[in-house]
Amino acid sequence: MGNLTNNIPILLTQKELRDRKRYSQHQMAEGTGLTDSAISRILHYKTLDKVPFDSIVKVAKWLEVNPLDLIEESED
């Protein structure tokens, strides 16, 4: 099995374009119920292999996408 590539930065940009608003990491943390540091780590990870699935679900809900949209399997 390959790595789970992180699509969250791309989907965050799409949400910002849809909402016509820029979101800070703090706003994302408040919206998901995760800590600022957890959001920072999630946004900077190249893969989501070590991110708890419940965190992925919270981010997906906030982004208004399916949790599977946040990840893409790669062979890296």
pTM for the model? 0.83
Give the CA distances from residue 38 to residues 19, 22, 60, 62, 74, in Å, rounded to whole numbers and listed in that order: 23, 19, 14, 15, 23
Q: What is the pLDDT of residue 54?
A: 94
Give the pLDDT confidence of 5-54 residue by residue, as tens digits.
888 999 999 999 999 999 999 999 999 999 999 999 999 888 888 889 89
Q: What is the pLDDT of residue 71?
A: 83
Residue 59 has pLDDT above 80, yes or no: yes
**How far is it, in rounded angstroms, from Cα 42 to Cα 56?**
9
Q: What kind of fold does domain 3-64 have according to CATH?
A: 434 Repressor (Amino-terminal Domain) (1.10.260)
Residue 62 has pLDDT above 70, yes or no: yes
Q: What is the pLDDT of residue 76?
A: 56
